[in-house]
Structure 1
Amino acid sequence: MKSTIQQLVNEKRNAHILYAYTGNETYFRELYQYISDGIHAGDHLLLVENERISSQVQKELAKRFSSQQLNQVHYVNSLHFYWSSGSYNPQAIQAYFTEVVAPFIEKGHVFRSWAHVEWESVKEPLHLIEEFEYMVDQAVNEMNFPLICAYGLDQMPERLQTMLLKTHPYVLEDASIAASTTYEPQ
């Protein structure tokens, strides 16, 4: 059975999805489902995640998939990704992302991405996060790939929640996808 995320991806490749998760169990369930859907669809998956979780994901995926299938999953250290310039700089993050996805685009690989934005990386002024999310939204549309941006809801101030709903056209909640009613494309 296909997930609601996969149904959206089948209908619209350029899906920019906000996932405000609560708890590790639901986080991993959605992450593994997204990876599984991608592998079965033949997509490459770019996983922006911290080292601890990446290690855990690699161990779990090794139980579920062949080594050939695991070659479709590519890991990017989230600390390097968000702080490549020494601070949370939207232009530097975009440049880093463009460099990372260039080989997929050059080889004509279909890809999807999951980006875990941990609280420590969002202590910068919220206008920088908003600027970055609008840049990402544009990239998703231009490069035609699905992206889930995972933020921990427990540590998210209301102002950030409001801004994220404004910058993401879709929201993942309770294993279902809904259109954001407050999305404002740039």
Structure 2
Amino acid sequence: MQKEIQSLINEVNTSGAHIFYYFHDQDRYINNLIAYVMSSLKLGNHVMIIENDRFMPIIQEKIKEQFSEEQIDMIHTINNYDFYCYRSNFHKETILKYLKDMITPYLEKKLPIKTWAHVEWRDQEEIFHALGEYEQEADQMLQETDFTTICAYDANRVPQTLKDILMDCHDYYMTDESISIIKRNKAITK
């Protein structure tokens, strides 16, 4: 899968992409995240990893093992609970502002950055509708910036209705073993 990730990152490096990762296997997920970081760093990009407390220690250990000090300085991490539940629940306006505020300094300094975000949420009413709206608005923002991000979702938590929405506001569909382009139904495409 490392070759597929590297090929995709090389292909979209200057044009950007919004990638939906629907994962089943934690070990493959983490290996794919490390491959994404490696491919991004090879192109001189900073990488922002938005991840949970369960996976982050494993990821940080792999980063220490596989990357130089200089590369590690280009890898930035944030807890995904802090990112997605800043107001104690999933509030799309807050998250979109946080995302924009987070990447703007890099864009203003012309420092290339890519993100990897493990999207998680608390059980709350109307969450799937809010997630869909968030992804659609994030997609519009990302298309304006030529920014590349992977939005990773645990397949065990995603009902088919949400998966359908996510497939319609991303450029690529990624699983633990493959990457394919998405032919969108409604969303604006590049």
Residue 135 of structure 1 is matched in structure 2 by 137
Secondary structure of 1:130 counterpart: helix
Residue 7 of structure 1 is matched in structure 2 by 7
Once the two structures are superposed, the pairs formed by residues 24-173 of structure 1 within 5 Å of their partners are 24-118=26-120, 120=122, 124-173=126-175
Contact 1:84–1:96 (CA under 8 A) maintained in structure 2: no
Secondary structure of 2:122 counterpart: helix
Contact 1:8–1:15 (CA under 8 A) maintained in structure 2: no
Please, which moves more after superposition, 65-74 or 100-109?
A: 100-109
Secondary structure of 1:16 counterpart: strand
Task: Read off the aligned partner of 1:82 and give its amino acid letter.
Answer: Y
Shift in CA distance, 136/6, structure 1 to aligned 2, threshold 3 Å: farther
Q: Provide the aligned length of Structure 1 versus Structure 2.
A: 186
Please, which moves more after superposition, 51-60 or 127-136?
A: 51-60
Cα distance between partner residues in 2 of 1:122 and 1:21: 22
Give the C-alpha shift of residue 174 in structure 1.
Answer: 4.4
Q: Considering only aligned residues, what root-mean-square deviation do their CA atoms show, in Å?
A: 2.0
Contact 1:169–1:180 (CA under 8 A) maintained in structure 2: yes
Contact 1:119–1:155 (CA under 8 A) maintained in structure 2: no
Give the C-alpha shift of residue 17 in structure 1.
Answer: 0.7
Report the TM-score, using the length of structure 1 for normalisation.
0.90
Give the C-alpha shift of residue 121 in structure 1.
Answer: 6.7
Cα distance between partner residues in 1 of 2:149 and 2:123: 18
Contact 2:90–2:121 (CA under 8 A) maintained in structure 1: no
- Structure 2's unaligned 5+ residue stretches are none
Task: Read off the aligned partner of 1:78 and give its amino acid letter.
Answer: N
Give the C-alpha shift of residue 130 in structure 1.
Answer: 1.1
- Structure 1's unaligned 5+ residue stretches are none
Secondary structure of 1:138 counterpart: helix
Task: Read off the aligned partner of 2:44 and give its amino acid letter.
Answer: G
Shift in CA distance, 95/53, structure 1 to aligned 2, threshold 3 Å: same
Report the TM-score, using the length of structure 2 for normalisation.
0.89
